[in-house]
Structure 1
Amino acid sequence: MADTIQAIRFKQWLPEWDEFDFDPAQHRRKPEDHILLFSMPAVQLRALSGVYRRTREREGGEGLQRLHDPRRSAAIRDFVRFGHPYSSLPQAARNEDSAAMRKPGWLPTAIVVNILTESDQRRGQKVAACDLVRITHDDSTRAELTLPYLDRLEKWTPSGLEPFEVIDGQHRLWAFDEALADGALPGDFELPVVAFTGLDVGWQAYLFWSINVSPKRINPSHAFDLFPLLRSAEWLETLSDLRIYRQARAQELTEILFNQPESPFHNRINMLGESSKTAPSGAGVTQAGWVQAITTSFLSTGSGRSASGLFAADITPVTGPLPWSRPQQAAFLITLWNAIEAAVCDPALPWVAALMHPDGQATFDPSPQLAFTGSRTMLNQEQGVRGVLAVANEIFYSLARLRPEVFELSTRVVAGVATSPEDVTTAVIELDGTELKRLISSFAQAIAQFDWRSADAPGVNDELRLVKRAFRGSSGYVALREQLFSHLAGAPNDIAAVAAESLARLS
């Protein structure tokens, strides 16, 4: 007697759909109005399933899937075994010290398949009669699948074409391949399955598109609003794990800087790493550059010789990190850079005037905005962005330790929920008029006095050009940071004393 599986049979069909153009000649014959929902061992689902990869070379190809990436399936297999974030750690970091990071690797999202019928043909083949999965129902909400074998855990293979074809979820399914040399997962680990029956390939292509392309993805960033709470968990004290959360948070902050209308970098970050010819106008720094700059500054853990991050490290052992939500962190960065832009775009500054009038010549567009968005200013280059964020973080972290009351901000923003642009706008407005805003403005005025022209800018003499070329590369970040602290230490404002102390630590 063959093995059977009980399934839920549910209807997804509207009466008006009956009027649609169902054309078998276009691989879009009318689908059935019911879908099946069931679970089965992943290993056996893998044995029952075929994947047809779409290629450009095959005329009239019926495949839908992208090329199978074994590394992706291996990553999923590791996730099932160990959960996140342990599965993301390199092998060398998987030891007793990081063992507390292991979690259940649930895969609750359904694999979407199509069950082939005896009349379905794929690439000149049909499923053998003995390999068909037969479905019976009595028009109720229940159905029964009869499988082509006796034991669902036995090592079964079809005689030809597989009776299931995968529409979505191939990499999750291939993680359970029994032929893997690095260790198979247990045979009784089950996956949820949503199954269509006799679905034509044209509708499969449409379904694949609707699952993977059409929907707006739910913004995962609200999970990182819990960062201060997660930070207190014992297993998050491990540096390698914190890197995962820090980089994710940095990416979310970068995305806000790019999307938020109040940001001076609105639509002005090279999010896709494009060449200068195709990147957005004035976008001199890539998303990766911003993520790295924020991760190593405001989100630094302060371990080893690295500076403590204002958004991540404990201000004091008692108070812990600042309880700022993601919108408040974003608002601080937006306010900081708006203040810098306002201070820098001053034609009275000698270095700005030199950019506006190269070699003393008049130009068609003598705008001081070139000092902030032009191609010859370090403030629109990775070195400059990273330098500004590094020194700003160290100075404001020190100020938070000296004057913690300044950083205690009243807010209407609710932490721990999905963040909207309105939340960020609210946080920006709440900063206005505060003592912290005054300190930000003082920092911006001081930093604007530094000569931010790049080495290839007009009017840069040979001596200065050598100094600026030293800012390039990994060692250049340290050199620029030291120069900025030296510059700020001579500023006549509240920032000077803190900058002098930071400079002394570098010496």
Structure 2
Amino acid sequence: MSTPGVISSVPALRVKQWLPEWEQVNFDADQNQAKPEPHFYVFSLSAARLRELSAIYRRDTTDMTARQDDLGIQRRHDPERSAEIQRYVVEGYPRSGLSEAQRKNAANDGLRKPGWLPTAVVVNILSEGDQRNGQTIGSDHVITVSDEPGEVFANLTFPDNVDDGLPPIEVIDGQHRLFAFDDDDPNVADFELPVVAFHGLDISWQAYLFWTINIKPKKINASLAFDLYPLLREQDWLDSGDRILVYRESRAQELTEVLWSTPESPWYKRINMLGGPRKESGPVTQAAFVRSLIASMVKPWKRSGRQATGGIFGGTPNQNDGLAWSRVQQAAFLVAAWRLLADAIRANRSDWAEAIRQEQAQLDLLDEDPAFSGRYSFLATDQGVRGFQHVVNDLAYIREKPLGLASWQDTGDIADVSPDSIAEIAKTIPDTIISFLEGIADGLATYDWRTSGFPGLNENERLAKAALRGSGGYKEMREQLVVHLSSAANHDIADAATTLKGWI
């Protein structure tokens, strides 16, 4: 007899997924690849009840079992991950990612959101006679599946007693979600999870299914993922503080979109926003700009750890530290910095710039200025974008007080970040700030921005440029630009760069 209050059965939607071509698969029960049923079931069940009915078999090496004989498919359980999921269910995101002290702070109560878990837990329902780890499940402990051919719904009846050694359900994917409900918290006792259930699925097919769910799918393009942030921008938690990563990513994405959508920007319509081909979409991806801004301008104002400087966009009106610049001010500053650099390089007639222009002219490729954004310019690469934005941030951070950055205030009532509002705010940027950005631009215009792929380099030049490629090139590029600017004709720029050189 079933225990009162305990769910004894559930209706399940019968989903047929089988193609005639699959009949050509070499099914072999001796290899744990017996032919599966042509359908699975979809239902919902409380997390507590699902845990009670489930077993999880993990990959293990402690007993040196041969890998082909090890029937465990799950990864090792990470208690921290399950604990975070549990916090997420109760408190939502981003509150679940805060420290315990931050969550106790009443000022962060507004960060509480629903903790939905809409992704299905994938399981297998054991059939009578199935064996696992030397045990066989009997008729008294299996889930009875009442499934009439041609019917849309089936009924799953759970056993009155569950064998602790061999429960009737084995989890294929979703163990960390289940472990999040391990503490019998009465507040989440009735929290239901969607379940996709196979019936009598051989263990090798379970491993294959786990692999296709967790390993095989290509990860979403980072630029496409960042492009989703505008859909979240109006949520209050995005403005709650610069230490929350989602806030920083959202602000960086917005600033990247500004560079792409503002006619005054040299990157107008020329950033690869969705990760498409370079030729049609632009030379540098949205993800590269976003990550660069997160690493430079859109980071906390206070220096921490090994950071040489903080981020000039890291302050908020609710903090005592940092610049209380509005989103429109930040956008106008960034566009101005890039515009001045593009103008300085266009006016530059150094050998490196002329060589790129001549080479690209021979390729009959159109570009605003090949020396700035052509295929042979480092400025049209991740390393160049990050190097420039890092240097602008670092030097402005060092010279914050002499430049009077905090004195530049947005006194208008402009809520939206649009090309018109950016153009309006740009008129108010003090001359001291513009002159400083011009000094950086003029100094960097004389740096040799040619990539290692430029045809005219000698072997030593090519090897030196090759050192700037890859993830290791970010630090090397930044250091080279700082050293170059320490000899700039503008004394303020040279002094700031010399100071920075001693910090990094």
TM over 0.5: yes
Q: Where does residue 214 of structure 1 map in the other structure?
A: 216
- Relative to structure 1, is the Cα distance of residues 489 and 226 closer, same or farther in structure 2, using a 3 angstrom cutoff? farther
- Cα distance in structure 2, aligned partners of 1:201 and 1:246: 43
2:314 paired residue among 300, 304, 328: 300
Q: Where does residue 68 of structure 1 map in the other structure?
A: 77
Q: Where does residue 19 of structure 1 map in the other structure?
A: 24
1:163 paired residue among 162, 168, 171: 168
- Relative to structure 1, is the Cα distance of residues 104 and 372 closer, same or farther in structure 2, using a 3 angstrom cutoff? same
Structure 1 residues not aligned, in runs of 5+? 150-155, 272-285, 316-320, 350-366, 412-430, 459-471, 492-498, 500-507
Task: Map 1:141-220; keep pairs closer than 5 Å.
Answer: 141-149=152-160, 158-178=163-183, 185-218=187-220, 219-220=224-225
Task: Map 1:299-448; keep pairs closer than 5 Å.
Answer: 299-302=313-316, 303-308=319-324, 313=327, 315=329, 346-347=350-351, 385-390=389-394, 409=419, 443=437, 446-448=440-442
8 Å CA contact 1:37–1:195 kept in 2: the answer is yes
Greater alpha carbon shift after TM alignment, 17-26 vs 165-174 = 17-26
- Cα distance in structure 2, aligned partners of 1:143 and 1:32: 14
Q: Where does residue 139 of structure 2 map in the other structure?
A: 129
Aligned: 1:291 with 2:294 = yes
- Relative to structure 1, is the Cα distance of residues 387 and 257 closer, same or farther in structure 2, using a 3 angstrom cutoff? farther
Using the TM superposition, give the Cα deviation of residue 220 of structure 1 relative to its aligned residue in structure 2, in angstroms: 3.1
- Relative to structure 1, is the Cα distance of residues 409 and 220 closer, same or farther in structure 2, using a 3 angstrom cutoff? same
- Relative to structure 1, is the Cα distance of residues 248 and 50 closer, same or farther in structure 2, using a 3 angstrom cutoff? farther
- SS of residue paired to 2:248: helix
Structure 2 residues not aligned, in runs of 5+? 3-7, 258-270, 300-310, 354-370, 449-460, 462-474, 497-504
- Cα distance in structure 2, aligned partners of 1:6 and 1:147: 11
- Cα distance in structure 2, aligned partners of 1:29 and 1:121: 14
8 Å CA contact 1:115–1:163 kept in 2: the answer is yes
Q: Which amino acid aligns with 1:387?
A: V
CA-to-partner distance for each residue in 1:177-220, whole Å, 9 max, x for gaps?
137xxx56522111110100011122112211222233344543
- SS of residue paired to 1:210: helix
- Relative to structure 1, is the Cα distance of residues 335 and 29 closer, same or farther in structure 2, using a 3 angstrom cutoff? farther
Using the TM superposition, give the Cα deviation of residue 128 of structure 1 relative to its aligned residue in structure 2, in angstroms: 4.0
Q: Which amino acid aligns with 1:306?
A: G
- Relative to structure 1, is the Cα distance of residues 228 and 290 closer, same or farther in structure 2, using a 3 angstrom cutoff? closer
1:89 paired residue among 84, 98, 102: 98
Q: Where does residue 469 of structure 2 map in the other structure?
A: none
Task: Map 1:219-230; keep pairs closer than 5 Å.
Answer: 219-226=224-231, 229-230=234-235
- Relative to structure 1, is the Cα distance of residues 341 and 87 closer, same or farther in structure 2, using a 3 angstrom cutoff? farther
- Relative to structure 1, is the Cα distance of residues 257 and 127 closer, same or farther in structure 2, using a 3 angstrom cutoff? same
| TM-score under structure 1 length normalisation | 0.60
Q: Which amino acid aligns with 1:117?
A: S
Q: Which amino acid aligns with 2:97?
A: S
Using the TM superposition, give the Cα deviation of residue 122 of structure 1 relative to its aligned residue in structure 2, in angstroms: 2.1
8 Å CA contact 2:43–2:194 kept in 1: the answer is yes
Q: Which amino acid aligns with 1:214?
A: K
- SS of residue paired to 2:181: coil
Q: Which amino acid aligns with 2:152?
A: T
8 Å CA contact 1:89–1:241 kept in 2: the answer is no
Q: Percent identity?
A: 34
| TM-score under structure 2 length normalisation | 0.60
